[in-house]
Structures are given as C-alpha cells and as structure tokens.
C-alpha cells in the first residue's frame, strides 16, 4: 500500500468513525430551511466535525504516546541491551514523544478543517510508531539478548574444552565429545554473527524509510530466528557434552 493511499485510508477511517450519523441527521433536518439557517447549520456541522476529528486525532496521538512509554519501559527493563543501542533508541523515542506532544498542541489549536486536514497525516507519516519504531525496538532488544546468550555459550565452550583436555590427559576417549564441542562452537559463532547483524539492519530506519522499511524489518526478524535456532542447538549440544563429562567422572559409559 502506498503512503498516499495509507494516508487517505487513515483520513477516511477518521471521518467514518466520527461523523456519518450526525451529518446525515443534520442534512435531513436542514433541507427545507431558509438560506441563512442553512449556512448556520453548515457552520455548526463543520464545527462538530472539527471537534470530532480533533478528539479522534488526539486519541490517536495518546495511543502512540502510551506505546512509546511501553517501549521505553522495555528498554529500561532489559538486562542485555547494549548501552549504545539503548541510548539511541531512547533518544529517538523521546524525540518522537516530544514531536507528537507538539503536534497535539497544533491540533488542539487548529481553527478550521483545512488546517486540521494538513495536521492529521503527520500523526502517521512523521512518526511511524507502529510501522517502524516499535518493531525496530523489539528487534534490537531481541538481538542483544541473543548476543548475550551467544556470549555465555562461548564462555561455556572454553570451560568444556578445558575439562575435555583434562579427561584426555587421563586417557579417557573424548573424541566424540570433542566433535560435539567443535559443532557447538560453529553453532555459537553462527548464532552470534546473526544476532549481531540485526541492529545494523534496523537501527537507522526512520519514518521516511516506510514502506520499504517493512521488508527490512521482516528480513531482520528472519535473521534473528536463525540466530535463535543456532543458539538452541548449541545449548542442546552443550548439555550433551556435560552428560558425557558427568558419565566419565562417574564411571559411566563415555561412548
């Protein structure tokens, strides 16, 4: 859907949601009045439309401000988000919130439909809170979490390697476990590479990148899913190696 069509649909949705019943009733009631009365009725009707549109527009802004609050909360609660990423995202969210609040002021002050008509599209086009900002924040948070998991697993490969070396020194056959460890290292490296690629794909997306940004965001999501699959497999492999080690220490079957 093109940006113009999106805007048209948004405006149409606003109009349909606010005025049809009242407009129709008013039209019927004014058909046989004198001209002066009709003009007054039209003015009154436009004033109602103006108020209704303002109300709906301000609700749309409030909804976006609430979403921004939620996103800020998610960033602040994250224990794995990188400081640089958090700073950039929080900065963008605060700028969006300030812009939307200023826009709300302009909408409240609008004295006619033409002015309002120019302001309403800005709610969508200038911020793209749902189409760009929210997915971007969630993808960066998820990629940093995946990166942290990869870091822990990498640390684990080091410890597992040390233990297998010690067992090997004592003549315990560790070839199979070493193969598993090599596999685990590849999975961790692959998962980490995928995770670290995501912020570079999405962090610099802005509202003007829409609608092309949607494809980029979906690609980033796919890369992140791939990271998750690799890290899951790496974790499973680590558990398998630990079982081998415990069996070896406990005198169980080490094959």
Partner 1 sequence: MHSKTRTALLLLAGAITVAGCGGKATGSVGTGTDAGLSPNVLAAVPDVAVDEIDSLLAGFDETLAELDQLLNQAAAALAAEEMEILP
Taking CB under 8 A as the binding criterion, the range among 82-90, 109-117, 130-138, 182-190 that sits at the site for partner 1 is 130-138
Question: For residue 41, what are the contacts with CB-CB under 8 A and spacing of at least 6?
Answer: 26, 29, 30, 33
Which member of 23, 48, 49, 56 binds partner 1 (CB under 8 A)?
56
Of residues 171-210, those binding partner 1 (CB under 8 A): 171-173
What is the rounded distance in angstroms from the CA atom of residue 19 to the CA atom of residue 12?
Answer: 11
Nearest by Cα to 63 from 129, 111, 110: 129
- Report the alpha-carbon distance of residue 3 to residue 124 in Å, rounded: 10
For residue 105, the minimal CB distance to partner 1 (Å) is 18
Instruction: Give the CA count within 13 Å in the CB-facing half-sphere of 248.
Output: 23
Inter-residue contact 18 to 84 (CB < 8 Å):
no
Kindly tell me which of 94 and 152 has the beta carbon lying closer to partner 1.
152
Task: Establish if 123 lies at the interface with partner 1 (CB under 8 A).
Answer: yes
| Helix and strand element counts for the chain (H, E) | 8, 0
Query: Is residue 75 involved in binding partner 1 (CB under 8 A)?
Result: no
Q: Which is nearer to partner 1, 204 or 225 (CB)?
A: 225
Per CB under 8 A, does 86 bind partner 1? no
Residue 6 binds partner 1 (CB under 8 A): yes
Q: Does 243 bind partner 1 (CB under 8 A)?
A: no
How far is it, in rounded angstroms, from Cα 80 to Cα 85?
10
Contact call for residue 4 and partner 1 (CB under 8 A): no
- Residue 228 binds partner 1, judged by CB under 8 A: yes
Provide the angle, in degrees to the nearest 10, between the axes of the packed helices 113-125 and 83-109.
Answer: 170
Using CB under 8 A, pick the residue from 75, 100, 163, 201 that binds partner 1.
163
Residue 155, classified by CB atoms within 10 Å of its CB into exposed (0-12), middle (13-18) or buried (19+), is exposed
**What is the sign of the dihedral through the CA atoms of 116, 118, 121 and 123?**
negative
Smallest distance, partner 1 to C-beta of residue 178, A: 14
Contacting positions for partner 1 (CB under 8 A):
1, 6, 9-10, 13-14, 17, 56-57, 59-60, 63, 74, 123-124, 128-131, 134-135, 137-139, 141-142, 145-146, 148-149, 152-153, 155-156, 159-160, 162-163, 166-167, 169-173, 214, 217-218, 221, 224-225, 228, 231-232, 235, 238-239, 242, 245-246, 248-249, 251, 253-254
């Amino acid at each position: 859907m093109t940006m113009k069509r999106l805007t048209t649909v948004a405006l149409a949705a606003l109009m349909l949601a606010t005025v049809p019943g009242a407009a129709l009733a008013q039209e019927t009631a004014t058909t046989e009045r004198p001209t002066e009365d009709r003009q007054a009725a039209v003015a009154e009707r436009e004033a109602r439309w103006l108020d209704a549109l303002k109300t709906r527009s301000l609700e749309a802004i409030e909804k976006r401000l609430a979403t921004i609050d939620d996103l800020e909360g998610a960033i602040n609660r994250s224990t794995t988000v990188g400081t640089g990423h958090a700073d950039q995202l929080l900065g963008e969210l605060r700028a969006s919130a300030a812009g939307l609040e200023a826009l709300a002021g302009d909408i409240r002050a609008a004295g006619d439909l033409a002015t309002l008509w120019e302001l309403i599209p800005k709610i969508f086009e200038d911020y793209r809170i749902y189409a760009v900002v929210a997915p971007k924040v969630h993808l960066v948070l998820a990629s940093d979490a995946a990166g942290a998991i990869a870091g822990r697993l990498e640390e684990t490969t080091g410890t597992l390697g040390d233990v297998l070396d010690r067992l090997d020194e004592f003549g315990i056959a560790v070839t199979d476990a070493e193969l598993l460890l090599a596999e685990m290292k590849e999975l961790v490296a692959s998962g980490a590479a995928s995770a670290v690629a995501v912020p570079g794909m999405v962090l610099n997306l802005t509202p003007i990148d829409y609608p092309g940004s949607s494809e980029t965001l979906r690609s980033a999501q796919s890369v992140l899913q791939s990271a998750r699959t690799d890290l899951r497999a790496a974790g499973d492999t680590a558990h398998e190696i630990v079982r081998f080690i415990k069996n070896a220490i406990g005198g169980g079957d080490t094959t």
